[in-house]
């Protein structure tokens, strides 16, 4: 629920009215997960047309995280089917107030998002460390490409570098999962 509020605040800040579909998807997930995912899909399509980021290494991309991170968290809630939770941690409440202040002072949007992430209960320090290190390495790689090879620093290459790096992080996390063996049992 806190992520829905955060995405609505960020949507108002960006004038991205597609976030209204998140409310519909969130409510629809109580009845049917499939319909909620369909609505979320259309939300993603509309959001891409409303939020523009020209460069990964820019203040606009940092501000865009204020709408992207809550959207991903809402997708997690839709997929997990969690019940409507109105209980918030104090850090999350502070994050919502900072995010709301970001409506007036745009530079507070990333800080509010960071406070919301830090206040998440199910998040371990290891996960926060891995994400922070991953983002730091990704931006370092992009900065090196921008400084040394400016002719290669196009939006297409930025997306390719970011996507490749995210795939590597996902593969790293999958490697840590326990292996499960499936056996086919047949009645005779």
Query: pLDDT for 131-183, tens place per residue?
Result: 778 778 888 888 898 899 888 888 888 888 888 887 887 777 666 656 656 66
Question: Same domain, yes or no, for 53 and 92?
Answer: yes
Question: Same domain, yes or no, for 78 and 21?
Answer: yes
Taking the whole predicted model, whether its pTM rises above 0.85 is answered as no
Measured over the CA atoms of residue 165, residue 169, residue 172 and residue 174, the dihedral's sign is negative
Query: Residue 181 CB: number of other CB atoms within 10 A?
Result: 4
Question: Same domain, yes or no, for 132 and 55?
Answer: no
Query: DSSP letter string over 49-110?
Result: HH---S-SSSHHHHHHHHHHHHHHHHHHHHHHT--------HHHHHHHHHHHHTTTSGGGHH
Question: Same domain, yes or no, for 45 and 104?
Answer: yes
Domain enclosing residue 74, as ranges: 1-123
Question: Same domain, yes or no, for 116 and 160?
Answer: no
Question: Same domain, yes or no, for 14 and 24?
Answer: yes
CA angle 142/74/175 to nearest 5° reads 55
Question: Same domain, yes or no, for 108 and 141?
Answer: no
Query: pLDDT for 13-51, tens place per residue?
Result: 888 888 999 989 888 888 888 888 899 999 989 988 888
Question: Same domain, yes or no, for 83 and 44?
Answer: yes
* Residue closest to 55 by CA, chosen among 137, 142, 163, 135: 142
């Amino acid at each position: 629920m806190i992520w829905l509020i955060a995405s609505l605040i960020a949507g108002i800040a960006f004038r991205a009215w597609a976030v209204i579909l998140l409310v519909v998807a969130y409510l629809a997930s109580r009845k049917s997960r499939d319909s909620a995912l369909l609505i979320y899909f259309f939300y993603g399509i509309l959001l891409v047309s409303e939020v523009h980021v020209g460069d990964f290494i820019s203040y606009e991309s940092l501000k865009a995280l204020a709408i992207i991170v809550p959207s991903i968290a809402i997708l997690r809630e839709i997929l997990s089917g969690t019940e409507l939770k109105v209980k918030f941690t104090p850090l999350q409440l502070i994050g919502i107030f900072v995010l709301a202040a970001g409506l007036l002072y745009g530079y507070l949007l990333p800080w509010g998002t960071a406070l919301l992430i830090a206040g998440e209960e199910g998040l371990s320090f290891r996960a926060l460390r891995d994400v922070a290190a991953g983002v730091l390495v990704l931006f370092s790689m992009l900065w090196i490409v921008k400084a040394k090879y400016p002719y290669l620093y196009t939006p297409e290459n930025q997306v390719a570098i970011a996507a490749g790096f995210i795939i590597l992080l996902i593969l790293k996390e999958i490697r840590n999962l326990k292996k499960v063996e499936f056996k086919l049992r047949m009645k005779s």
